[in-house]
Amino acid sequence: MPTTDSPMRTLDEHRAAALALAAPLPEVVVGLDAALGAVLAQDVRTSERLPRWDNSAMDGYAVRADDVRDATAGAPVTLRVVADLPAGTSGTPTVEPGTAARIMTGAPVPPGADTVVPVEDTDAGTVTVQVRAAKAIGSHVRRAGEDASPGDLVVAAGTLLGPAHVAAVASVGVADVPVHRRPRVAVVSTGDELVPPGTPLAHGQIPDSNSWLLAAAVRDAGGEPVRLGPVGDDPDALRDLLRGLDDDTDVDAVVTSGGVSVGAFDVVKAALRDEPGVDFLPVAVQPGKPQGLGRLPGGTPVFALPGNPVSSFVSFEVFVRPALLRMRGLADVERPTTTAVVDDGWRTPPGRAQVMPVRFVRPYVARDDRGTAGPASLSTAPGTADARPPHVVRATAGGSGSHLVARLAVAEGLAVVPAEIEQVAPGDRVTVLRIAP
């Protein structure tokens, strides 16, 4: 039945409803090799001081500062070399007055020594060594505990683990990393007209692209897609499929595309018509007005998106992605935004927010100034980097173009135009969600 006369939810209201379906998934323990890109579920703390012991910050000689207090280039002090101390050494000879130990960066400072003389300030001797410069006591020694004390926080729960976080966890001897499980998300595209890409097409058939779009978007959001599409326009078969997914404890969410509109063959709507936990309703947004949202009887969140590729794409971005990021355990579920100047201009629908795929005309920052063909200079002088706002134009020329999947590929951002705006003019500023890396 037509639902266009129902009161419409706002974009923000529907986002809030979608996000309310999501909660951080339970903790699992993974190895360091699987930690990158996961979200830490518990604080990682150090149980020891870091560094664990006084150690050398330089390659050189561990000495007693008092022994070399009068050393100069013209009047070097000669010490007897009593040991070689590579990093990893466990022998700890005592440095008595008049002696030195050859020491490498990172090696424990031996008993008796209080100072390190860099090799550059010596003759690099191996039996005796001439020290050519005095050093303040403690020079070039990294003190035990100067990085962290026992119990100090190293990486906080909720952190998205990048390479440096993985290294920090490893550096405190933690090999089993408590992270939130990643969401497994079933993806179902619907429509009798859809055939797998690469299959010869009969008249009226098109290749399925939405299941690939949504599966890739799930993976890009840090989830694990289970791609099940395309399925045909048979409500009973789809209902059975969705029930099976709801019963599968390995499936954390279901995303469908198509079949949610006012047409006579809207399969997702028909399949879920009798589910009290799932609502189909219009949202005041373009594209993406018809939406289904809720929980299947077993509690699995279901996001029923419209089938036009651009509508599916935009709906995923603004409604599904934040929910998946929350399931992963992230507190900040937002895309980064920037303010951009519009170079073209377009009409927007009265009373509906608009989410317009755009591309940047002038790169976001001073990329072009550095060039891309040759090796770039990183040594840009402070103050010269470009801080002007970027400019954008629509990615899909010629209207909202919700079917123009081939042109969607150039989108680098989504301009969000509030419902009360009816016209975006050249020179206007818009808020852009940055969706390209």
How far is C-alpha 197 from the chain's CA centre? 30
On the CB side of 69, how many CA atoms lie within 13 Å of its CA?
Answer: 8
What's the closest the beta carbon of residue 292 comes to a second copy, in angstroms?
16
Min separation Cβ 273 and a second copy, Å: 17
The reply to whether 237 sits near a second copy by the rule CB under 8 A is no
**137 or 376: CB nearest a second copy:** 376
For the chain, the residue count is 437
The rounded distance, in Å, linking the Cα atoms of 261 and 320 is: 18
Among 28, 30, 42, 57, binds a second copy (CB under 8 A): 57
Contact segment (CB under 8 A) with a second copy among 87-95, 237-245, 247-255, 268-276 equals: 87-95
328 contacts a second copy (rule: CB under 8 A): no
Residues 127-146 that bind a second copy (CB under 8 A): 142, 146
Cβ nearer to a second copy, comparing 300 with 306: 306
Site for a second copy (CB under 8 A): which residue of 23, 29, 216, 237? 216
Q: CB 1 → a second copy: shortest distance, Å?
A: 8
Nearest approach, Cβ of 275 to a second copy (angstroms)?
22
Contact yes or no for 302/293 (Cβ under 8 A): yes
Residue 212 in contact with a second copy, rule: CB under 8 A: yes
**Any contact of residue 6 with a second copy (CB under 8 A)?**
no
CB of 307 to a second copy, least distance (A): 7
For the bound state, the minimum distance from the C-beta of residue 194 to a second copy, rounded and expressed in Å, comes to 7
Q: Which residues contact 220 (CB under 8 A, 6 or more apart)?
A: none
Query: With contact defined as beta carbons under 8 Å apart, do 163 and 36 qualify?
Result: yes
Q: Which of residues 248-307 bind a second copy (CB under 8 A)?
A: 261-265, 307
> Of the ranges 93-101, 161-169, 237-245, 297-305, which one interacts with a second copy (CB under 8 A)?
161-169
Binding map of a second copy across residues 169-208, x = CB under 8 A, - = no contact: xxxxxxxx--------------xxxx-xxxx-xxxxxxxx
Binding segment for a second copy among 72-80, 209-217, 239-247, 273-281 (CB under 8 A)?
209-217
Site membership for a second copy, residue 337 (CB under 8 A):
yes
Where do we find the tokens 């699992």?
28
Under 8 Å between Cβ of 395 and 411: yes
Q: Which of residues 340-369 bind a second copy (CB under 8 A)?
A: 353, 355, 364-367
Provide the H-helix boundaries in 256-343: 267-271, 309-315, 321-328
CA-CA distance, 121 to 68, in Å (whole number)?
A: 11
How many CA atoms are closer than 13 Å to the CA of 185, on its beta-carbon side?
34
Taking the least distance from each CB to a second copy, the nearer of 251 and 260 is 260
Alpha carbon 95 to chain centroid, angstroms: 50
- Give the other-Cβ count within 10 Å of 348's Cβ: 20
Measured distance CA(23)–CA(161) in Å, rounded: 19
Which is it for the CA torsion 95, 97, 102, 105, positive or negative?
Answer: positive
Report the distance separating Cα 406 and Cα 221, nearest Å: 22
Residues in 396-415 that interact with a second copy by CB under 8 A? 398, 401, 403-409, 411
